[in-house]
């Protein structure tokens, strides 16, 4: 019956599609944004991060003393520990323009925390004096005014010191949108403005037979520093952004709006459809259709609209995501839990819409069909 | 030709039927201890002014309304004592409906519309549509099975409604003002059809109508007023009565 009423069917489909798209797209952008907040962790990959005792999240590293690495190394359960520098500084391009960069200093001997994918050049060349490896975002952000992206062999200044590009890597984008620039720890200390304490964190590998959690707790106990496993640091960072920024509220509001719009449009349209077809539903009831059968009929129609609308919404969201990933922004990540959750929500919305109609049908007397 | 009253079977027996609507001061009695009988093989009319309780009585005979008081026995089933589910099943198996506004589902084709009672009875879609197609032929609309109701005239739609009402071979046909939306000629044809149906063994047709043009087709007429059946006429008494 509903499929034959083209206007209502299309309106219902439009409402569900819009609701699905809104929820999927906004939630995927939100997830993407959260991955940006944890980009240090995904780019540097360490089992345990040792940071200053008051550090709550990965984007706010407070400096440690250089000797703290040695203190960490001396803890039982630590296989090895290396120093790490992470800091925001400015790059002075050849045209005199300044651009902010996110400088990462890796342990010169081991290059632990190195980028996983090199797009061009050799990572080992980082050991050469004044060498840096830039990420793919830097190709856009550090372009010359005439639009030419930097390449291997090009150089710019960091804190008045020449930095020469020896490689280009792929890295997850950081929350603030600055490109990653990798160098060695020693070189980073040269590039960065001098401070009393320069060590940002120590990356730790647990000793054989030790879990990351046990090692982290042991380090905290013996050094008084804060030690996070990769997983703990990830969720601590996510929690921090939930608690201290308006991002979840902003996205949450839009997602809730999607649910409300979905319920409002589909509920109202479905109810109108039932009202307009009361005589026909009454006729079916008079002819012997049971309440169960009529309810199943309404639920089937609602689910059909739900499936179709969800599919179209998902397709549109994936299309948006493909474009976003190609452009590099806005962030877009769609873990499997997201489409699954939205699917369940859409089905709940459709079920609610159907229930409104079902209540009407159950209360409907078949005798309505005889009234003028 | 009506049968001898002493030998014909009672199809519907209504005793002391009362039904009210509303509550408190607003409560009105649509039926007040109404008595009514209909017999197999008869085309029975129920007539009377608007608001006299015709439709309420018809609804209760059809099992679509529950009485407040009284007894209704239809085709041997005591509807007043049956559960809602049992009445629904009874309607599905024994009753055919023809409505004033036809009530064909506009988004279904003619064949699909006619198939509905068979599908409700559990017949397969294929078999139901085959039977519905044959039924459409019998009402003179063969070959138009794929059409939609909006593509037909009022008379044609009522013929489809008749096909739908008869497709599952019901023993009781309930008709609510079947000719009121039709012109004289078409109404005439429909009544001839209904009388033919009433003549089949074990069948009965009850028609609620305002239309005096159809009185000539009745085997029996029940005249109602103010929630009661005033009199039931049959045979020559119909022609002689002032209705």
Please report, in tens digits, the pLDDT of each residue of chain A (372 residues total).
Answer: 667 778 888 888 998 898 899 899 999 999 998 889 999 999 998 999 999 999 999 998 999 999 999 999 999 999 999 999 999 999 998 888 899 999 999 999 999 999 989 999 999 999 999 999 999 999 989 988 888 899 999 999 999 999 999 999 999 999 888 999 999 999 999 999 888 899 999 999 999 999 999 999 999 999 999 999 999 999 999 999 999 998 888 888 988 888 888 888 888 888 888 888 888 888 899 999 999 999 999 899 889 999 999 999 999 999 999 999 888 778 899 999 999 999 998 999 888 888 888 998 898 888 888 875
Q: Give the mutation candidate from B86, B107, B168 for the A interface (greatest A CB count, under 10 A).
A: B107
**Shortest Cα distance from A3 to chain B (angstroms)?**
8
Give the alpha-carbon dihedral of A185, A187, A189, A192, to 10 degrees: -120
Q: Do A280 and B105 touch (CB under 8 A)?
A: yes
Q: Please provide residue B136's backbone torsions phi and psi, each rounded to the nearest 5 degrees.
A: -65, -35
| Helix extents (H) in A38-131 | 39-44, 68-73
Question: What CA–CA distances, in Å, run from A216 to A78, A111, A230?
Answer: 9, 22, 10
For residue B176, the chain A residue with the least C-alpha distance is A370
Helix axes A278-286, A247-276, angle to 10 degrees: 60
B141 vs B243: CA distance, rounded Å: 35
Give chain B's contact residues with A (Cβ, < 8 Å): 55, 58-59, 62, 64-65, 85, 88-89, 91-93, 95, 97, 99-101, 103, 105-108, 116-117, 120-121, 176
Nearest to A321 by CA among A312, A311, A330, A309: A330
ipTM for the whole complex: 0.85
Select the residue of A1, A5, A288 nearest B91 (Cβ to Cβ): A288
CA trace torsion B156, B161, B164, B169 (10° rounding): -110
B59 closest CB neighbour out of A283, A289, A370: A370
Nearest to A367 among B65, B105, B116 (CB): B65
Q: How many CB atoms lie within 10 A of CB A231?
A: 12
Cross-chain residue pair A288–B93, CB shorter than 8 Å: yes
């Amino acid at each position: 019956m509903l499929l034959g009423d083209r206007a209502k069917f299309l309106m219902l489909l439009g409402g569900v599609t819009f609701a699905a798209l809104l929820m999927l797209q906004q939630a995927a952008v939100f997830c993407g944004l959260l991955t940006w907040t944890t980009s240090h962790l995904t780019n540097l990959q360490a089992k345990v991060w040792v940071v200053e005792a008051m550090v709550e999240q990965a984007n706010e590293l407070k400096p440690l003393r250089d000797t703290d690495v040695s203190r960490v190394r001396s803890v039982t359960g630590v296989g090895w520990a290396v120093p790490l520098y992470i800091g925001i500084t400015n790059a002075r391009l050849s045209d005199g323009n300044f651009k902010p960069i996110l400088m990462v200093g890796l342990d010169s001997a081991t290059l632990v925390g190195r980028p996983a994918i090199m797009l061009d050049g050799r990572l080992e060349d980082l050991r050469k004096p004044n060498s840096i490896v830039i990420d793919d975002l830097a190709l856009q952000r550090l372009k010359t005014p005439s639009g030419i992206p930097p390449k291997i062999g090009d150089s710019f200044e960091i804190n008045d010191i020449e930095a020469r590009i020896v490689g280009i890597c792929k890295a997850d984008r950081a929350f603030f949108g600055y490109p990653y620039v990798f160098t060695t720890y020693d070189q980073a200390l040269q590039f960065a403005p001098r401070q009393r304490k320069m060590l940002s964190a120590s990356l730790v590998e647990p000793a054989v037979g030790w879990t990351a959690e046990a090692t982290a707790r042991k380090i905290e106990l013996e050094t008084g520093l804060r030690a996070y496993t990769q997983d703990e640091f990830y969720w601590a960072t996510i929690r921090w952004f939930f608690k201290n920024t308006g991002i979840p509220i902003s996205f949450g509001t839009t997602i809730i709006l999607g649910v409300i719009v979905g319920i409002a449009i589909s509920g109202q349209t479905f109810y109108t459809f039932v009202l307009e077809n009361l005589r026909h539903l009454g006729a079916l009831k008079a002819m012997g259709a049971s309440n169960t059968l009529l309810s199943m009929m309404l639920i089937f129609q609602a689910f059909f609209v739900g499936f179709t609308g969800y599919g179209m919404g998902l397709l549109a969201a994936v299309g948006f995501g493909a474009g976003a990933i190609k452009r590099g922004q806005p962030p877009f990540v769609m873990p499997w839990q997201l489409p699954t959750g939205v699917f369940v929500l859409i089905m709940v919305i459709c079920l609610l819409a159907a229930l409104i109609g079902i209540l009407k049908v159950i209360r409907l007397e078949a005798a309505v069909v005889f009234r003028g | 030709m009506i049968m001898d009253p002493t030998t014909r079977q009672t199809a519907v027996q209504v005793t002391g039927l009362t039904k009210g609507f509303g509550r408190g001061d607003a409560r009105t009695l649509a039926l007040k201890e109404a008595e009514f009988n209909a017999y197999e093989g008869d085309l029975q009319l129920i007539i009377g002014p608007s608001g006299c309780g015709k439709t309420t009585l018809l609804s209760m005979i059809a099992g679509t309304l529950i009485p407040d008081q009284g007894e209704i026995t239809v085709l041997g089933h005591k509807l007043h004592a049956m559960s809602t589910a049992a009445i629904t099943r009874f309607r599905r198996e024994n009753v055919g409906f023809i409505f004033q506004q036809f009530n064909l589902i506009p988004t279904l084709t003619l064949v699909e519309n006619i198939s509905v009672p068979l599908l409700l009875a559990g017949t397969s879609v294929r078999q139901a549509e085959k039977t519905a197609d044959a039924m459409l032929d019998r009402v003179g609309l063969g070959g138009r099975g794929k059409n939609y109701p909006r593509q037909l005239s009022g008379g044609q739609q009522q013929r489809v409604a008749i096909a739908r009402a008869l497709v599952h071979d019901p023993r009781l046909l309930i008709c609510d003002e079947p000719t009121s939306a039709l012109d004289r000629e078409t109404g005439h044809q429909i009544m001839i059809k209904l009388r033919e149906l009433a003549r089949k063994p074990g069948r009965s047709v009850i028609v609620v109508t305002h239309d005096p043009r159809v009185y000539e087709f009745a085997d029996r007429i029940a005249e109602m007023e103010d929630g009661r059946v005033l009199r039931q006429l049959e045979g020559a008494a119909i022609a002689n009565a002032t209705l």
